[in-house]
Structure 1
């Protein structure tokens, strides 16, 4: 009996090993590409963040790279300019992300409604801002808010209101508006795709029970598309942390927009100063912040889902 069991297990073990080797052969190209294009740059950035440029004497000699350990991290975290850029992006995201996702959800629900006309046209119209390159959209908005050119400020002045969309207090709302305009359609499409996967029998059963269209959306559709809402929120958190295009273009019509307005700006300026270690450090801190916020949001959503 043991001989039969051994004979039976040998082909099974051989087959399992063969399948494992086949799977490894298919995964190897992806693993190599992932390591070269993703893991290697991260590792090199972490390595660079441990060094800083040092000048001897009066600073007339060429700088040398010296090991700094966590010195760059201490300098960055104690830098009020860099801390302000982190706080600025965080405040923009706290306001802009919920507004944008609320609009995306509302538009997706309207497109999914049974009585909505011209669905294809409106789906394309809502998605069109995202289809434009980000820099092109930022350039368009820079002309719409530039002093002396903006039709928005002209209309406000006609009403007796003094409005400058490029002034210091208005920079964050202006950038938030540019982000909302450019990314609402993208998030709407993700949510709308999730809505299309809902069986129509669920909404029909709720309608037969006397549930209104608003009640169906609130009690049936939104809970089912919750994973899509979580996904778009995580994408939006990461995207807001990487904010660069909009303020970079807006800076040409808003001279009061500082060159360290966002963390990416600060890292870019460090690169221009040939301080690559400090730029790498700021990039690592920004990536860590985006990871903590995204992971914290996922944990919070997971706990609420478990409580429900």
Structure 2
């Protein structure tokens, strides 16, 4: 092979090495651990009393039949139904407003930074900030509502905790999705909008009939990213857990993985649950892309 043909592989080599070491190898090792278990001989006190043996699909059976697994799945499903539509709806609305011809450029620049800024705040810090606002005893909302004779709601109670956690995700993720959609809108030639205005189209008609269909591929991409993020939510509930007894260590499937691996010291069950989460995430993302992606991207190419 000539030097010119080897050059692309040289550029790809660092990325492939990093991908193998930090992504492919851990995934493979997790799959291996999910098929193993520890066999204890005697009292389990000797150096050879604990041996790792083949478990087959036993860990998957234990994981799927765990009494805490299905409630966490139902909880994360409700969480996704709240977060994904709300976050993408707000992101699309804000992107359309910023791209409107009636929005001043200076206002648009300030609004872009302000809306995107929460995304730059780590999830742990954002959860702590919102947790401070959720607790009635320390929240400034309590002092603000007191003159009106109103009591601050218990947002970390069992009735509201799902919405409270979802609010943190919406607040932090809307800005990123807005930037993606807004960037797609800015790539559209302005002559297309001018032609529509000459034909008598209103700003609403332009947004509904031109802008939204054009940014449909970006909406699909942000939907897939948001879906993956919600299925793997961990930082927000684990940070808010000390503030409320309604959030358990198995509140989400990924928190169950953490409990099994680091509290129960059962890395084999944790690996099995991790593989299940990865397979479900891939299946939902791939299935959605197959369902709507081809139609949307074919419209973009045409």
What CA deviation, in whole Å up to 9, does each residue of 1:85-119 have, x standing for no partner? 12211221122101110000000111111111311
Q: Give the secondary-structure state (helix, strand or coil) at the position aligned to 1:54.
A: strand
Asked if 1:246 corresponds to 2:231, the answer is: no
TM-score (norm 1): 0.88
Q: Which residue of 2 aligns with 1:5?
A: none
Question: In the alignment, which of 27, 30, 36 is matched to residue 51 of structure 1?
Answer: 36
CA drift of 1:155 comes to 5.6
Asked if 1:140 corresponds to 2:129, the answer is: yes
CA drift of 1:154 comes to 6.0
Alignment check: 8 A CA contact 2:35 2:54 kept: yes
Asked if 1:218 corresponds to 2:208, the answer is: yes
Q: Give the secondary-structure state (helix, strand or coil) at the position aligned to 2:160.
A: helix
Paired residues in the alignment total 293
Question: In the alignment, which of 76, 83, 87 is matched to residue 70 of structure 2?
Answer: 83
> What stretches of structure 2 of length at least 5 have no aligned partner?
none
Q: Where do 1:132-281 residues align within 5 Å? A: 132-152=121-141, 158=148, 160=150, 163-272=153-262, 273-281=264-272
Q: Give the secondary-structure state (helix, strand or coil) at the position aligned to 1:169.
A: coil
CA drift of 1:161 comes to 6.0
Alignment check: 8 A CA contact 1:53 1:275 kept: no
Measure, in 2, the Cα distance between the counterparts of 1:87 and 1:54: 33
Alignment check: 8 A CA contact 2:216 2:296 kept: no
Q: Which residue of 1 aligns with 2:23?
A: 38
Q: Which residue of 2 aligns with 1:114?
A: 101
Measure, in 1, the Cα distance between the counterparts of 2:120 and 2:200: 40
Measure, in 1, the Cα distance between the counterparts of 2:12 and 2:297: 34
Q: Give the secondary-structure state (helix, strand or coil) at the position aligned to 2:207.
A: helix
Q: Which residue of 1 aligns with 2:80?
A: 93
CA drift of 1:257 comes to 1.1
Alignment check: 8 A CA contact 1:267 1:279 kept: yes
Alignment check: 8 A CA contact 2:31 2:272 kept: yes
- Pairwise CA RMSD: 2.2
CA drift of 1:284 comes to 0.8
Task: Name whichever of 61-70 and 221-230 sits farther off.
Answer: 61-70
Question: In the alignment, which of 43, 55, 74 is matched to residue 68 of structure 1?
Answer: 55
Alignment check: 8 A CA contact 2:196 2:206 kept: yes
Q: Which residue of 2 aligns with 1:9?
A: none
Q: 1:52 to 1:70 in 2, by over 3 A?
A: same
Q: Give the secondary-structure state (helix, strand or coil) at the position aligned to 1:168.
A: coil
Q: Which residue of 2 aligns with 1:6?
A: none
Measure, in 2, the Cα distance between the counterparts of 1:217 and 1:153: 40
Measure, in 1, the Cα distance between the counterparts of 2:225 and 2:296: 20
Alignment check: 8 A CA contact 2:161 2:246 kept: no
Q: Give the secondary-structure state (helix, strand or coil) at the position aligned to 1:164.
A: coil
Q: Which residue of 2 aligns with 1:105?
A: 92
Alignment check: 8 A CA contact 2:136 2:152 kept: no
Q: Which residue of 1 aligns with 2:5?
A: 20
Alignment check: 8 A CA contact 1:153 1:165 kept: no
Q: Give the secondary-structure state (helix, strand or coil) at the position aligned to 1:53.
A: strand
Q: Which has the larger radius of gyration?
A: 1
> What stretches of structure 1 of length at least 5 have no aligned partner?
1-13
Alignment check: 8 A CA contact 2:217 2:296 kept: no
Measure, in 1, the Cα distance between the counterparts of 2:39 and 2:133: 45
